[in-house]
Amino acid sequence: MLLDFINVTLVFSIGMLLANVIAVALNRRWLWFITTTIIEFVVIYLALYIQLPPKNLTTLLNVNIFLAVAAAIVNFLGNAGLSAIDKIREFSGNNKHANTVNISPKQTSFLKRYVWVLLIPIVLWIIVGGTSFVTRITSINNVYDSIPTQKKRSAELLTSAKEMPIALAPETAKRKMQQKFSVIPNSNMYELDGITAQTINGQYVYVATVEFNGFFKWLKNRSVPGYFMISATDVNAQPKFVKEPLKYSPSAYLNDDAARKIYAAAPTYASTGRMNLEIDDNGTPYYVQTLYREYGVSGRMKFNEFKTAVLNAQTGDVNVYDAQKAPKFIDAPITSAAANQMNEFYGRYQKGWWNQTAFGAKRDVKVPTDNGVYAAGQITPLIDSKGNLVYFTDFTSGNNDQDSALGYSLVDAKTGQLTYYRDTRSGLMDSDGAISIADKIYPEKKWQAKMPILYNIDGTPTWVISLLDSKGIFKKYVYINAIDNDIVIDGDNAQEALDDYRNDLAESKSNNRSTDTKLAKSISGKVSRVALVNDGKTTIVNFMLENQATVFRIDADSAPTTVFLKVGDNVRFKANMLDKAKVATIEDIDIDSLKK
């Protein structure tokens, strides 16, 4: 890695080297040139090794200009001093009684010309600063266009809780891990740090890093003993400590520092966000860092050119990939920090820079909410129906008097594809409104609503929220209709709560219940049970068929003859048969006995 840092130092030292080359070209002092260049290079090397400054283009230019000025000052003063020493020696040899020493015209000419070497970097610094300010504004449209986006009206239809791996809140998972921390030998030397969601061998899990608790702990052990892992979907799961030593980690020092290893291996790319620990299917730990290049000197990243650095935490090998070509086991080559910046940019700059300022109209400006669990609370991870890790965020207007969502996004953690969902036919409650409702279900218990995620359940947009106690322990799931917030269901089990919610949707007379026919299939059979339920306003006919466990429901207002349905009737109808659904609502039915 020490050799890799030479490449990094060269990138930051171009300005210094140019200043020194100009100096030696003017004064021909080769020994001075070689000596000062080596000393300056070593100083820069050590400073970079310790500080790890950003490597975006703006920072690189500013550092190079600063070092060029510093080198020019050293050369200017050094040359003046050396010229004076040479003249003193000359006068001492010829006239021991000389009272004054004059610098030769040649050296005077050099000093006058070299003043420009001092001034030019300062002028360049002013030019870079001005260019950066202008480019930051003029690049808005180009950077916005670099976001890979698509728009959809609604998300995929959810058919069962299995397709909706509602993750435990990270606080719940972390709390359980902390309770098991004593399983680590000499646990007082370590601390629990970052936690990330990922899939390992097809299972959705949380993985948490174990880090050194200080320099002397690292010096004593030189590797952390392993990491914690826990199911992200099973509320009764207990964490497992995996004994896989990690020599390289963010809490290690010197050459064992994971951040320093990745920094040195990618000298021309800047990093964004913190590193994630990801585990392959064999249990080997890797640290993953998202890298990017700046758009000009705007300070903004190109959202379609992400790189991913993958560090083997045991061997120290670092490989840099295009994000989309990262190894298959890497679930998040694009980390949540990058996804968060994509959301921020997408929400604010659709109509350009001026539109989102205090002087603009703020047309189509939407602000990500801060009810997530990643990236300072603006991102929530989940697994989509294809098993890919995505980041969820909903958008609001930013007006505190409104609880209406302007849509929501899912950012694919592998491809960076941002899919924006917005159903303009009906208004949706945002996550702030959903949390305020869930918080009031059990006010006496002081449970907190966390991790709101918007799902499409039977064609109805629905908020699914986890309720946690004051210690971060999971208590219940809450389902809230995002259109009609009078429909609220809570339950201990995801599937049971989902079935109860569907049942309430079926009973609701509002126009937001499912009319989606994508999963409808033809069903026929003989009626085995019938029950009529009347609430004073509506009659609902419930019936079951022989060899069927599902209860079918139909509103008698839409099919008046169903009130005459009896056991033994042969019927035919279409229903959305959802996986393990206890109840299915239908809207039409043929009863053979009533046709005669």
Write the CATH number for 549.
Answer: 2.40.50.1010
| 302 plus 392 within the same structural domain | no
| 417 plus 473 within the same structural domain | yes
| 2 plus 64 within the same structural domain | yes
Write the CA distances from 443 to 436, 440, 448, 469, 489, integer angstroms. Answer: 11, 5, 9, 11, 16
| 153 plus 83 within the same structural domain | no
Task: Judge whether 127 lies within some domain.
Answer: yes
More confident residue, 501 or 423: 501
Three-class SS state of 258: helix
Task: Judge whether 40 lies within some domain.
Answer: yes
Q: Rounded distance, CA 167 to CA 465, Å?
A: 10
pLDDT tens for each residue of 93-135: 555 554 554 555 656 666 666 677 778 888 888 888 888 888 8
Range of the domain at 474: 147-164+362-513
Q: What was the pLDDT predicted at 375?
A: 57
Task: Judge whether 489 lies within some domain.
Answer: yes
Residue where the block lists tokens 């970052």: 194
| 124 plus 67 within the same structural domain | yes
pLDDT tens for each residue of 432-446: 888 889 988 888 888
Q: Which of 455, 482, 513 is the last residue of a domain?
A: 513
Q: What was the pLDDT predicted at 513?
A: 43
| 319 plus 385 within the same structural domain | no
| 558 plus 485 within the same structural domain | no
Task: Judge whether 319 lies within some domain.
Answer: yes
Q: Rounded distance, CA 164 to CA 456, Å?
A: 10
Q: Where are the alpha helices (DSSP H) in 100-246?
A: 105-138, 140-145, 170-179, 215-221
Confidence of residue 313 (pLDDT cuts 50, 70, 90): very high
| 509 plus 569 within the same structural domain | no
Residue 318 pLDDT greater than 50, yes or no: yes
Q: What was the pLDDT predicted at 80?
A: 63
| 572 plus 473 within the same structural domain | no
| 199 plus 101 within the same structural domain | no
Q: Rounded distance, CA 575 to CA 159, Å?
A: 13
The percent of residues above 90 in pLDDT, for the chain, comes to: 15
Task: Judge whether 172 lies within some domain.
Answer: no
pLDDT tens for each residue of 146-187: 888 888 876 665 555 555 566 677 888 888 898 898 898 888
Residue 82 pLDDT greater than 80, yes or no: no
Which DSSP category does 183 fall into? G
Answer whether 452's CB lies under 8 Å from 433's CB: no
Q: Poorest-confidence range of 87-91, 200-204, 427-431?
A: 87-91
Q: What is the mean pLDDT of residues 575-596?
A: 75
Task: Judge whether 438 lies within some domain.
Answer: yes
How many domains are contained in the chain?
Answer: 4
Tell me how far apart the terminal alpha carbons of the chain are, to the nearest angstrom. 87
| 509 plus 547 within the same structural domain | no
pLDDT tens for each residue of 334-361: 988 888 889 888 888 887 777 777 666 6
This prediction has a pTM of: 0.79
Task: Judge whether 24 lies within some domain.
Answer: yes
More confident residue, 3 or 593: 593
| 525 plus 567 within the same structural domain | yes
